[in-house]
Structure 1
Amino acid sequence: MDEKQLVKQVLSGSDSAIRLLISKYERLVVHMVARVVSDDMDSEELCQDVFIKVVDKLSTFHFDSKLSTWIATIAYRMAVNFAKKKKLVQVDLDEVAFKVGEDAEVTEEEDMKRFILKLLDQLPINYKTVLTLFYLDGFSYPEIMEVTGMPEGTVKNYIHRARLKLKKIVEEQARKEVALL
């Protein structure tokens, strides 16, 4: 089913179309929200709120962009607003607990992913968002501009600054680890 048919069926009140919309875009919404809100319970509740808003506001979607971009925009803005209200605190890398499991390769890979996400969590929300949209989600500059509402120059600037900040964080973390040896 293409986007136009899906939107039309959701607007007509079809429960199966709403379930299809959620299943089709759930991963995107979870990813967008999780980049800003790290608490699992808050993130899960916020994802539900995003889909409520998406269904509620779907009549205002006029196919000026892809449906996924429009939904990502809603998820991003709701997550940022939530974070501002909660004044979310950045996580200290020293608090990261690494698992020890039977399958060392899987555990190391999971640990590395968690470590990288914790590094990203130290960036300001706007930097973290544009960096993850560009590198992890593969969004283009125009798509990031649409999701965030930032001009292209700002998006490019934030990606550049985020890379520099991330490099500095990695260097500081490496110095800490060398000092422990």
Structure 2
Amino acid sequence: MLQLLDARHRLLFMFNEKEVVLKIQRGELRAFTLLVKQYERLVFHVVQRLTLNQADAEDICQDVFLKVHSSLHTFAFQSKLSTWIARIAYLTTIDYLRKYQKMKISELTDDLGDFYFTNVTPEKLLDEKDVAHYVHKLIDQLPLHYRTVLTLYHLDEFTYPEIEQITGMPQGTIKSYLFRARKLLKESVERYLKYDGNK
């Protein structure tokens, strides 16, 4: 078992995106399987955070990798492969949400305004032992643009320029969303910790 894990780790560590892309462009299916294994977690993470629905996310992920395969001949190494794939995942998910009318008007807002968390309160999380889990529940309630930039920046560790490439949002907007969303999360977590300490 340990040998299998070590072999898998070496396989991922040795991943050379240029070499893999060129092999796929030459029609080597095994190379595409390697690409999927390398990026399936990233794609699912992006898609699931936007849809908040596991079944939808699984369907969309399949569509994403079909698009990656059919479009890979256009990839010119002008960005990191992960950024290019994340953009396909983001756009495919947005298209899906719009097509099936799962995106509420409020999801498109650029302003938090008087936004507040409605379904996640300390009272409903009396048995919650993990603050991180509480934060993830809060992020799930944020408008789509806010949870998108939080996910890409903090969880997937993309830079501002990479998030701009993925979403098409200007870097100033990305920074603004991050600042305001983090402030909202901080205030809510402080209330949670205060409540938890007074139980």
Normalized against structure 1, the TM-score is what? 0.80
Aligned residues: 170
Query: What is the one-letter code of the residue matched to 1:141?
Result: Y
Structure 2 match to 1:18: 32
- How far off is 1:80 after superposition? 2.4
2:120 aligns with: 93
Once the two structures are overlaid, the 10-residue window that deviates more, 140-149 or 73-82, is 73-82
Assess, with a 3 A threshold, how the Cα gap between structure 1 residues 37 and 7 changes in structure 2: closer, same or farther.
same
1:160 to 179, 184, 191: 179
Kept after mapping to 2: 8 A contact 1:7/1:58: yes
Mapped to 1, the partners of 2:96 and 2:118 lie a distance apart of 17
Q: TM-score, normalised by structure 2?
A: 0.73
Could you tell me the percent identity over the aligned residues?
44
1:72 aligns with 2:86: yes
Deviations 1:68-102 (A, max 9, x none): 010011111222232333236998326xx87x8xx
Given the alignment of the two structures, is residue 131 of structure 1 paired with residue 145 of structure 2, yes or no? Answer: no
**Where in structure 1 do 4 or more consecutive aligned residues deviate above 2 Å?**
80-85, 87-94, 112-115, 164-175
Structure 1 contact 130–158 (Cα < 8 Å) conserved: yes
1:22-74 CA-partner distances (Å, limit 9, x unpaired): 00111110111121111111111111111011111111111110000100111
Q: Is the 8 A contact 2:84 2:166 kept in 1?
A: yes
Q: Which moved more, 1:83-92 or 1:33-42?
A: 83-92
Describe the SS at the equivalent of 1:43. Answer: helix
Alignment partner, residue 119 of structure 1: 138
SS at match of 1:35: helix
1:53 pairs, out of 58, 67, 71, with 67
Measure the CA separation in 2 of the matches of 1:41 and 1:115.
22
> Are 2:171 and 1:144 aligned?
no
Gaps of 5+ in 1: 101-106
Gaps of 5+ in 2: 1-14, 108-116
Check conservation: 1:120, 1:128, Cα contact below 8 A. yes
The 5 Å alignment of 1:2-17 reads 2-17=16-31
Q: CA–CA distance in 2 between the matches of 1:10 and 1:174?
A: 50
Q: Aligned pair in 2 of structure 1 residues 157, 66: CA closer, same or farther (>3 Å)?
A: same
CA contact (8 A) 1:123 1:166 kept: no
Give RMSD over aligned pairs.
2.9
Judged with a 3 Å threshold, the aligned counterparts in structure 2 of structure 1 residues 154 and 25 are, in CA distance, closer, same or farther, namely same
Alpha-carbon distance, 1:162 to partner: 1.3
Aligned: 1:28 with 2:53: no
